[in-house]
Amino acid sequence: MVRCLQNRTETRYDAECVNARQAAQQVAAKEEAARRVELETQSERKRLALRRTQEAAMQARKRAAEYERLREEADYLAQFGVAMPGEGITQEEVQEVGNATLTLVPAGSEERQGPVGNIQPVSDGGNVPMSTTAQNVDERQND
Protein backbone atom coordinates (compact mmCIF):
# COMPACT_ATOMS: atom_id res chain seq x y z
CA MET A 1 0.00 0.00 0.00
CA VAL A 2 2.86 2.40 0.80
CA ARG A 3 4.41 1.87 -2.65
CA CYS A 4 1.01 2.30 -4.32
CA LEU A 5 0.31 5.53 -2.45
CA GLN A 6 3.70 7.08 -3.28
CA ASN A 7 3.03 7.23 -7.01
CA ARG A 8 -0.67 6.80 -7.70
CA THR A 9 -0.55 7.64 -11.41
CA GLU A 10 1.95 4.89 -12.25
CA THR A 11 0.44 2.22 -9.97
CA ARG A 12 -3.19 2.99 -10.66
CA TYR A 13 -3.78 -0.16 -12.72
CA ASP A 14 -1.07 -2.31 -11.18
CA ALA A 15 -2.65 -5.62 -10.08
CA GLU A 16 -0.92 -5.62 -6.70
CA CYS A 17 -2.08 -2.09 -5.93
CA VAL A 18 -5.66 -2.79 -7.06
CA ASN A 19 -5.75 -5.88 -4.81
CA ALA A 20 -4.24 -3.91 -1.91
CA ARG A 21 -6.85 -1.13 -2.25
CA GLN A 22 -9.70 -3.67 -2.36
CA ALA A 23 -8.31 -5.48 0.69
CA ALA A 24 -8.05 -2.16 2.57
CA GLN A 25 -11.67 -1.35 1.69
CA GLN A 26 -12.83 -4.77 2.91
CA VAL A 27 -10.92 -4.40 6.19
CA ALA A 28 -12.42 -0.92 6.66
CA ALA A 29 -15.92 -2.27 5.94
CA LYS A 30 -15.47 -5.07 8.52
CA GLU A 31 -14.20 -2.58 11.10
CA GLU A 32 -17.16 -0.29 10.41
CA ALA A 33 -19.59 -3.21 10.80
CA ALA A 34 -18.00 -4.18 14.13
CA ARG A 35 -18.14 -0.53 15.26
CA ARG A 36 -21.81 -0.32 14.25
CA VAL A 37 -22.62 -3.48 16.26
CA GLU A 38 -20.87 -2.02 19.31
CA LEU A 39 -22.75 1.28 18.96
CA GLU A 40 -26.08 -0.58 18.66
CA THR A 41 -25.25 -2.57 21.80
CA GLN A 42 -24.43 0.62 23.70
CA SER A 43 -27.58 2.26 22.41
CA GLU A 44 -29.72 -0.68 23.52
CA ARG A 45 -28.17 -0.58 27.02
CA LYS A 46 -28.89 3.14 27.23
CA ARG A 47 -32.49 2.65 26.08
CA LEU A 48 -33.03 -0.05 28.72
CA ALA A 49 -31.50 2.13 31.43
CA LEU A 50 -33.70 5.07 30.38
CA ARG A 51 -36.79 2.82 30.33
CA ARG A 52 -35.99 1.55 33.86
CA THR A 53 -35.50 5.12 35.06
CA GLN A 54 -38.80 6.23 33.52
CA GLU A 55 -40.65 3.24 35.03
CA ALA A 56 -39.16 3.96 38.47
CA ALA A 57 -40.20 7.61 38.16
CA MET A 58 -43.71 6.58 37.10
CA GLN A 59 -44.02 4.21 40.08
CA ALA A 60 -42.76 6.94 42.41
CA ARG A 61 -45.38 9.34 41.00
CA LYS A 62 -48.09 6.69 41.49
CA ARG A 63 -46.98 6.07 45.10
CA ALA A 64 -46.92 9.81 45.77
CA ALA A 65 -50.40 10.24 44.25
CA GLU A 66 -51.75 7.30 46.30
CA TYR A 67 -50.18 8.71 49.46
CA GLU A 68 -51.70 12.13 48.72
CA ARG A 69 -55.11 10.54 48.06
CA LEU A 70 -54.96 8.62 51.35
CA ARG A 71 -53.83 11.74 53.21
CA GLU A 72 -56.71 13.77 51.75
CA GLU A 73 -59.16 10.97 52.57
CA ALA A 74 -57.85 10.81 56.13
CA ASP A 75 -58.15 14.60 56.45
CA TYR A 76 -61.71 14.45 55.12
CA LEU A 77 -62.74 11.61 57.42
CA ALA A 78 -61.06 13.30 60.38
CA GLN A 79 -63.64 16.09 60.07
CA PHE A 80 -66.25 13.55 61.08
CA GLY A 81 -64.20 11.83 63.78
CA VAL A 82 -63.60 8.68 61.74
CA ALA A 83 -60.15 7.16 61.89
CA MET A 84 -58.64 5.62 58.81
CA PRO A 85 -57.78 1.91 58.99
CA GLY A 86 -54.34 1.54 60.44
CA GLU A 87 -54.98 4.21 63.09
CA GLY A 88 -56.26 1.79 65.71
CA ILE A 89 -59.26 0.31 63.85
CA THR A 90 -59.60 -2.00 60.89
CA GLN A 91 -61.48 -1.47 57.64
CA GLU A 92 -64.06 -4.08 58.75
CA GLU A 93 -64.79 -2.11 61.93
CA VAL A 94 -65.28 1.06 59.91
CA GLN A 95 -67.65 -0.73 57.53
CA GLU A 96 -69.64 -2.31 60.41
CA VAL A 97 -70.62 1.07 61.77
CA GLY A 98 -71.67 2.37 58.37
CA ASN A 99 -72.45 6.06 58.00
CA ALA A 100 -72.96 6.77 61.70
CA THR A 101 -71.11 9.79 63.01
CA LEU A 102 -68.28 8.40 65.06
CA THR A 103 -65.86 9.65 67.62
CA LEU A 104 -62.82 7.85 68.87
CA VAL A 105 -62.78 7.40 72.63
CA PRO A 106 -59.37 6.92 74.19
CA ALA A 107 -58.57 3.42 75.33
CA GLY A 108 -59.17 3.42 79.04
CA SER A 109 -62.79 4.52 79.12
CA GLU A 110 -64.00 0.96 79.14
CA GLU A 111 -67.33 1.66 80.88
CA ARG A 112 -69.06 2.88 77.67
CA GLN A 113 -68.29 0.67 74.72
CA GLY A 114 -69.95 1.41 71.39
CA PRO A 115 -70.97 -1.12 68.74
CA VAL A 116 -67.38 -1.51 67.53
CA GLY A 117 -64.58 -1.53 70.08
CA ASN A 118 -63.93 1.98 71.34
CA ILE A 119 -65.85 3.73 68.55
CA GLN A 120 -69.08 5.33 69.69
CA PRO A 121 -71.80 6.80 67.49
CA VAL A 122 -72.51 10.31 68.77
CA SER A 123 -75.14 12.65 67.44
CA ASP A 124 -77.15 15.59 68.68
CA GLY A 125 -79.82 14.81 66.11
CA GLY A 126 -78.24 17.14 63.55
CA ASN A 127 -75.73 16.62 60.83
CA VAL A 128 -72.74 18.06 62.69
CA PRO A 129 -70.31 15.56 64.20
CA MET A 130 -69.57 16.03 67.86
CA SER A 131 -66.46 15.09 69.76
CA THR A 132 -67.54 13.99 73.21
CA THR A 133 -66.50 11.75 76.02
CA ALA A 134 -68.65 9.22 77.80
CA GLN A 135 -69.29 11.73 80.63
CA ASN A 136 -70.58 14.38 78.21
CA VAL A 137 -72.91 11.82 76.63
CA ASP A 138 -74.35 10.97 80.06
CA GLU A 139 -74.82 14.68 80.89
CA ARG A 140 -76.56 15.37 77.59
CA GLN A 141 -78.90 12.40 78.03
CA ASN A 142 -79.89 13.71 81.48
CA ASP A 143 -80.79 17.19 80.10
- What are the phi and psi torsion angles at 140 (to 5°)? -70, -35
pLDDT over 90, % of the chain: 37
pLDDT at 14: 86
Domain ranges of the chain: 2-78, 91-142
- What are the phi and psi torsion angles at 137 (to 5°)? -65, -45
79: three-class secondary structure by DSSP? coil
d(CA 3, CA 137): 111
Residue 50 has pLDDT above 50, yes or no: yes
d(CA 107, CA 120): 12
Q: pLDDT band at 136, cuts 50/70/90?
A: low
Q: pLDDT band at 125, cuts 50/70/90?
A: low
Residue 52 has pLDDT above 80, yes or no: yes
One-letter identity of residue 91: Q
Q: What average pLDDT does range 78-91 have in this prediction?
A: 66
Of 88-97, 109-118, 125-134, give the lowest mean pLDDT range. Answer: 109-118
Indicate yes or no: pTM above 0.85: no
